[in-house]
Amino acid sequence: MTGSLTTSTDSAFPSDHTFGDDVLVRVDNLVKYFPVKGSGLLARSVTNVQAVDGVSLTIKRGKTLGLVGETGCGKSTLARCIAGLIPITDGKVYFEGQDITNLSRQQMRPYRREIQMIFQDPYGALNPRRRVGSIIGEPFAIHKTASGNARKRAVQDLMERVGLNPEHYNRFPAEFSGGQRQRIGVARALALRPKLIICDEPVSALDVSIQAQVLNLLADLQDDFGLSYLFIAHDLEVVRHVSNSVTVMYLGRVAEAGPGDQVYDHPRHPYSAALLSAAPAADPDSAAQRQRIILTGDVPSPINPPSGCRFHPRCPKAQDLCAQAEPHLEPKAGDPSTHLTACHFPVEAGEDLARAGRREQR
C-alpha cells in the first residue's frame, strides 16, 4: 500500500490521476476483536471474536468501493468501525488525511456529518412513532444547522430529491412501502451533505423492481453530490453494478481486492472464484454451462480461526504451506498493481477449480 496521507480538503473535484488527493478514507490494518467470556469452569478466561483482523483499504472521492463476503466475514463490523460507531481494537482510520481513530464523541462530531450510513432494514431503521419530516430533519436538529421553516424546507427539498412526495412530510413510516422507506433512509443520510455514505445491504430487503429504483437513485446522487460509497451487499451482481473497486473479505481478512472488472472477470483467490461461481445468474444458458465450485463445509468460527490462510480448510487448492504461513495481500504475477490477492497458490487463467472441488468432496 502506497500513497501519502496528506490530502487536501478543499478540492471538491479531484483529478483521477493524482494518488493521495483522491483518497477520501484510508483504513490501515484495522483490527476489531469482541471479547467473549467463557462459561462454567472457564468463566474467567476471555477469548476474542476476531471479527476484523488486519484489514486495509482506501475509498476514493466520488467512487464506490464494494465490500463482499459471506455472513460473519466482518464486513458490517468493518463498516461500523469506519463510521466510528464502535471503538477499534487496533489500526488506523484516516478521513481526508486526518486520523479519526477512536476519537471522543465531541471530537468525532464534525466527522459524523461527513460519514453517514444507510441500513439494510428499512422497517427497523426508522422510528415508527415519528413523522417522516422529523426523521429526515433529525440531523439538522442534532447539528443545529437549520430550524423551523428553514428545516422544513430543507427536508422537503430532500424528499423531492430522493423521489418522495414532499406533501407526505407529516406521514408516519408505516404509511410507506419498503422502497419508499429506503428512500427516507437515503434522504436522512443525505441531509448534512456527507462526503461518504456507508450503505450496508441497502437493497437486500427490496424486491428486484424496487431495488433497481433505489440503485439508480444512489447513482444519481453520487453524480450530483460527488459522494463516495462504501457499498456492502451479498448480491454480487449488484455490487459489480455499483462499484469501481471491490474488496472480498473472508473471516475478518481481505482475500482479494482490486478494480471491479478485474476481480470479477479474473478472480485469483480461490474463495473469490468460488463465491463468484456460486452466485446465480439470471440467465439459464450460462447457468447450465457454468461450472459451480461447490465449497465444502461452513465458515469456521472467528473465535478460533484456522492457522495460516484462513480459507485453507475449505480451499480446493490447499497445500501444506497454506496451513502454516499466512499469505500476504499482494499483486500476483501478471496482475496489475491494483489487483491484490492473499493466496499462496492463486487461481490461474483457465484452471478448473470445480473439478478440484469435486474431488475434495468425495
Contacting positions for other proteins (CB under 8 A): 70-71, 163, 177-180, 207-213, 215-217, 219-220, 222-223, 234, 236-238, 240-241, 260-261, 264, 274-275, 277-285, 287, 292, 294-295, 297-299
CA distances from 113 to 143, 145, 160, 186, 222 (A): 8, 11, 21, 14, 17
**Residue number, 46 or 208, with CB nearest to other proteins:** 208
Our CB check for other proteins shows the closer of 261 and 326 to be 261
Whichever of 148 and 297 has its CB closer to other proteins, that residue is 297
- In the chain the beta strands, taken as DSSP E runs, fall at 23-37, 46-60, 64-68, 90-95, 98-99, 115-118, 196-200, 228-232, 245-250, 253-259, 329-331, 340-342
Q: Closer CB to other proteins, residue 70 or residue 138?
A: 70
User: CB 296 → other proteins: shortest distance, Å?
Assistant: 8
Nearest approach, Cβ of residue 72 and other proteins (Å): 9
With beta carbons less than 8 A apart as the criterion, state whether 257 and 234 touch: no
Q: What is the DSSP string of 214-229?
A: HHHHHHHHHHHHT-EE
Which of 231, 284, 362, 328 has the alpha carbon at shortest distance from 1?
Answer: 328
Q: In what order do the strands lie in the sheet with 98-99?
A: 46-60, 23-37, 90-95, 98-99
Pick 90 or 360: Cβ nearer other proteins: 360
SS3 at position 140: helix
Q: 134: helix, coil or strand?
A: helix
Closest distance of CB 292 from other proteins, Å: 5
Per the listing, cell 469452569 goes with 41
The CB-of-102 to other proteins minimum distance in angstroms stands at: 31
Least Å distance, CB 312 to other proteins, is 16
Residue 267 CB, nearest distance to other proteins (Å)?
13
Which stretches within 226-319 are classed as H helix?
A: 236-242, 260-265, 270-278, 284-289
Q: In this complex, which beta carbon is closest to other proteins, that of residue 127 or of residue 177?
A: 177
Q: How far is the CB of 280 from other proteins (least distance, A)?
A: 3
**Would you say 33 or 264 has its CB closer to other proteins?**
264
- Nearest to other proteins of 297, 350 (CB atom): 297
Is 148 exposed, middle or buried (CB count within 10 Å of its CB: 0-12, 13-18, 19+)? exposed
Work out how close the CB of 238 gets to other proteins at its nearest, in angstroms, rounded to a whole number: 6
Query: Which three cell numbers, joined as nine digits, stand for 160?
Result: 423531492
Question: 133 near 170, Cβ under 8 Å?
Answer: yes
